[in-house]
Amino acid sequence: MQTYYVYILTNTSNHVLYTGVTNNLEKRLYQHRKGLTPGFASKYRCKKLIYFESTTEISSPIVREKQIKKGSRKKKIQLIESVNPSWVDLSEMAFRS
């Protein structure tokens, strides 16, 4: 069964937030970290995984991504801090089998 993710990345300097969706979080994060994905995340060097949700329903993360993107920065920060108050990189937790 395929797993889909909605995720939030940040950079280390000024906490720019990037929200994305993927079906392979590990591969996608690798692409972000190596600068292989041109656009907003690459421009602002968003490489630190600070939030993610997973599901097996293909439409859920797309809808959720839109909800998060429409929200204010304050709401995004509240969402992040509800599960990750220290803004630690969640990569290791995300990729455990």
Looking at 3.40.1190.20, 3.40.1440.10, 3.40.50.800, 1.10.274.100, the CATH number of the domain 4-94 comes to 3.40.1440.10
Would you say residue 97 has pLDDT above 70? no
Cβ–Cβ under 8 Å, residues 89 and 49: yes
Element (H, E) at 22: strand 17-22
pLDDT at 93: 76
Give residue 96's pLDDT band: very low, low, confident or very high (50, 70, 90): low
Would you say residue 24 has pLDDT above 90? yes
Backbone angles phi, psi at 16, to 5 degrees: -65, 140
What is the rounded average pLDDT for all residues in the chain? 92
pLDDT tens digits, one per residue of 33-52: 998 988 999 899 999 999 99
Q: State both tokens at 71.
A: 């929200």
Cβ–Cβ under 8 Å, residues 18 and 52: no
CB neighbourhood size of 76 (10 A) = 18
Please state the pTM of the whole predicted model: 0.93
Q: How far apart are CA 48 and CA 94, in angstroms?
A: 12
Q: How far apart are CA 61 and CA 32, in angstroms?
A: 19
